[in-house]
Amino acid sequence: MKKNLSVVLAWGVSLLVVSGPAFAHHAGSTYDSEHQVTVTGTVTEFLFVNPHAQVRFEVKDDKGEVTQWTAESAPPQRLYRAGWTRNSLKPGDLITVTGAPAKDGRKFMSVRKLVAPSGQVLGQGAE
């Protein structure tokens, strides 16, 4: 009985170790990197948090209709090395964001470049 339990336990541990890479982070596949977009809007919230910093902002079209966007960026530690801080953006700031939009049409993008109100260009840092 002990031998059977040991064998089952060994198989279970082996399966967990081997399957670990299957749970890797592949969020990039949700974005259309072939058709980047640039949008200008007003920051409503800046979340300088792990695993990815996020900027939520409102974009007005030519008719004055407002659309809510979310721009996801790199982790805070990498952004900090690229010049970002938790105070880089605040609600009310006018920003221009260039990035890869969500493939499914949601107003969600992966940031490639963000121009802050000061004119400072905030990138992702080293990839």
List pLDDT tens digits, range 14-44: 544 444 444 444 455 789 999 999 999 999 9
C-alpha 43: how far from its chain's center?
A: 16
What CATH number did the domain enclosing 45 receive?
Answer: 2.40.50.140
Q: In the chain, how many domains are there? A: 1
90 or 123, which is more confident: 90
pTM: 0.74
List pLDDT tens digits, range 61-83: 999 999 999 999 999 999 998 88
10 belongs to a structural domain: no
23 belongs to a structural domain: no
123 or 100, which is more confident: 100
Would you say 68 and 54 are in contact if contact means Cβ atoms under 8 Å apart?
Answer: no
39 belongs to a structural domain: yes
80 belongs to a structural domain: yes
Rounded CA separation 40/86 (Å): 20
Would you say 41 and 103 are in contact if contact means Cβ atoms under 8 Å apart?
Answer: no
Question: Could you tell me how many residues make up the chain?
Answer: 127
- Domain that residue 75 falls in: 30-122
CA dihedral 121, 122, 125, 127 (to 10 degrees): -90
